[in-house]
Chain A
Amino acid sequence: METKVVLNPEDLRPTSRFLRPAHYASNGSNGMVQMLGNEGSQATRQPEIAAEDLRAMYDWMVRVRAFDTRMVNLQRQGRIAFFVPSTGEEAAQIGTAWALRPEDWVFPAYREQGVALFRGYPLDALICQMMGNAQDYMKGRQMPDHFGTPRIRFMAASSPVGTQIPHAVGGAWSARLRREASVSVVYFGDGATSTGDFHAGMTFAAVQQLPVVFFCKNNGWAISLPYAKQCRAEHLSDKAIGYGMPGVRVDGNDVLAVQAVASEAIEWARSGNGPVFVELITQRMGPHSTADDPTRYRPNELLEPWKQKDPLHRFRSYLEGRGLWTEADETRAWAEADARINAAIERVEPVGPPPLESIVEDVYAEVPWHLREQLDELKREG
């Protein structure tokens, strides 16, 4: 059985055969690295992952889907103000997160709840962030989904698209200056590749040969804008060539392929070979956010083929085919995930808002005179 999956250092050189379409063809359709068949029961190559870990991987994908579903419901019930769902992107999240080490740094966009949970962002704290309450690490300063914490080396996301890309480059640069063997990974979508920040980040990372992995989740949509109107290049991974770094396309709904490509890309970067661009082909199955109505721009039938490629469904079929997962496992996984989330909601929902004084804190390291004064004014007038 062939276990070496996708990349080897020779493959990753920009000028090497790795970037030639002919090489991809053996890995999947249309130059896309793939391990699971669309129905999932087949795998073209077997992963180097222990059975218990494969089960855990699927279990994590269930937790992410369960969290997503529950948060959308909470928003519909008016218990949180807003949510950015990631349904359909579980493999892209868990497959990449699986490949990281604790010392690596994550610079997320706002659709990476699964990466955060996997790295150990406490469920309670994450829901506190959705509620913007006093126990939110962000102190209620940002909309839902803009969470982060240095405890898991996961930066706080911002709303403007792509701004985190040069930050990740700086993170990797910092690691090299501090002689730390960590890699910085950055998540962004297809829309971000049109920004100046993307161009800046790719340029700097390549020129400096920094240990950065660019995870571009191409989910087909930037709010209402389809890929065809975002970019004329056939594949986003083609852009990497122009910057002088390897670009890889992977089936983003195939957790085994994602994990394999991500692992090799991250270790490639860690070994001092410079940055790698990874395009994860997926589909945003839900709206851009709970404030968006995708039926206004995306025909429902367009989602039909993607439902067949559901990342959970495909991986579950594969595990069942290998005798690693049963109906009982499935029932238990969902029940446990739901129970954990419900218990967390119950614990944190009574928590009140942050104190008024916090409105002027953390603008600067110390509260300056004019903000002390403005707080006093607020209290007098309030």
Chain B
Amino acid sequence: MPVLTFHQAINAALREEMRRDERIMVMGEDVGHVGGVFRVTEGLQQEFGEERVVDTPLNEIGIVGAAIGMAMTGIRPCIEIQFSDFIYPAFDQIVNELAKVRYRSGGQFSAPVVVRTPYGGGVRGGHYHSQSPEAYFVHTAGLTTVIPSNPADAKGLLKSAMRSEDPVIFMEPKRLYRSMREEVPEGEHLVPLGKARIAREGSDATLLCYGAMVPICLEAASRAAESGTELEVIDLRTLWPVDIESILASVRKTGRVVVVHEAPRACGYGAELVAQIAERVIEYLQAPVVRVTGLDTPFPYTLESHYVPDAQRVLTGVQRVLKY
């Protein structure tokens, strides 16, 4: 099995799917000739030509809007928004159009577009290269929101997203692009959408996380194990529609939950998880659910390492649920 970095695994998924399905095209800013600012699409234009791998003008409305028109008429665009911080100009096209094509046309049209976009901190990118806007898309009916946490899942989830009949917001933890390397299955490796993964089993408390927070939570779990505390780490993989059964099963087992994400806290994705748990399994809880998240501030530059949760902050959250 080849050992790939995160960004190489995504590249492999794109390449394999483009070979398999000639309806797929890739477009975005700088994705063609230079292979993207993170080189995720490197070599695709050389293999598939300028017609299927397109450097677009600098306009997110155009990228998403044109992809919708293509998808409604039989093409499968997999588009890149260079940083998720730059996705907002296309917000109307994503929320009002992409997500709603099927519903508002009575199921006559659909728009199976994959919107790939790097998100999150850890690269000293400041406010405009570090945000985690996933909650907006989870809140939007009609979208599937996916965030992988490792190279093998990145490949398998992206391949599934590209075969989905629904639009998928596929957010890539940019800090892991080159920092994480592991064995990735070759060929037909599909990870189903809507299925979480138990990244580590444990019985004392549950950590609910996704994307770049998964390695942080695994690190926290290793450290906790040294003092005899066994944490269960659930990697959600698909944020919405979320794998509710896996979450509930873990909560029933541990009775203690910490939700971890780097996005701001207020109305963040974790709030929905807390509400779901409270509505369904509150009788199993031994302690209030704790959220370890980014702050409700703009994303800071110099103080970034204090803003993004690390293993120590996760462990502090764990102490709160254990000692309640």
Contact = CB atoms under 8 A, between A and B. Distances in A.
Contacts of A199: 59, 61
Contacts of A173: 66, 69-70, 75
Instruction: Report, as a range, how many residues of chain A touch the other chain.
Output: 35 or more
Interface stretch (B8-16, B92-100, B123-131, B217-225): B92-100
Contacts of B52: 177
Contact of A207 (B57, B64, B110): B57
Contacts of B67: 170
Interface stretch (B101-109, B294-302, B311-319): B101-109
B65 interface: yes
Contact of A171 (B72, B101, B103): B72
A105 to B, nearest CB: 7
Contacts of A88: none
Interface string A273-287: 000000000000000
A165 B105 contact: no
Contact of A138 (B89, B106, B142, B194): B106
B104 A200 contact: no
B73 interface: yes
A363 B141 contact: yes
A137 B25 contact: no
A369 B69 contact: no
- Max chain A Cβ within 10 angstroms of own Cβ: one of B54, B74, B100, B103: B103
A166 B106 CA distance: 21
A178 B103 contact: no
Contact of B106 (A171, A177, A362, A365): A362
Interface stretch (A146-154, A260-268, A304-312): A146-154
Nearest to B71: A170
Given A148-B105, A156-B105, A158-B104, A167 B61 contact: no
A27 interface: no
B165 interface: yes
A169 B65 CA distance: 8
A363 B108 contact: no
B132 to A, nearest CB: 22
A258 interface: no
Nearest to A156: B105
A289 interface: no
Nearest to A138: B106
Contact of A184 (B65, B69, B74, B241): B69
- Max chain B Cβ within 10 angstroms of own Cβ: one of A158, A167, A201, A204: A167
Given A136-B106, A163-B96, A177-B25, A365 B165 contact: yes
A143 B77 CA distance: 29
A361 B108 CA distance: 12
Given A158-B96, A178-B75, A363-B141, A169 B62 contact: yes
A169 B70 CA distance: 8
Contacts of A139: 106-107
Nearest to B58: A203
Contacts of A365: 102, 110, 164-166
Contact of A167 (B68, B104, B165, B241): B68
Contacts of B105: 137-138, 141, 148-149, 155-156
B271 interface: no
Contacts of A364: 102, 142, 144, 166, 241
A363 B69 contact: no
B68 A362 contact: no
Interface of A: 105, 107, 136-139, 141-142, 146, 148-150, 155-156, 158, 160, 163, 165-175, 177-178, 184, 196-197, 199-201, 203-204, 207-208, 361-365, 368-370
Given A155-B105, A170-B71, 15 more contacts: A138-B106, A139-B106, A139-B107, A150-B108, A156-B106, A158-B97, A158-B100, A167-B97, A170-B70, A170-B77, A199-B59, A200-B59, A204-B66, A363-B142, A365-B165
24 contacts: A137-B105, A138-B106, A139-B107, A141-B105, A141-B106, A142-B104, A149-B105, A155-B72, A158-B100, A163-B65, A163-B96, A166-B65, A166-B69, A170-B66, A171-B72, A174-B70, A177-B51, A178-B75, A184-B69, A196-B61, A200-B62, A200-B65, A203-B59, A362-B103
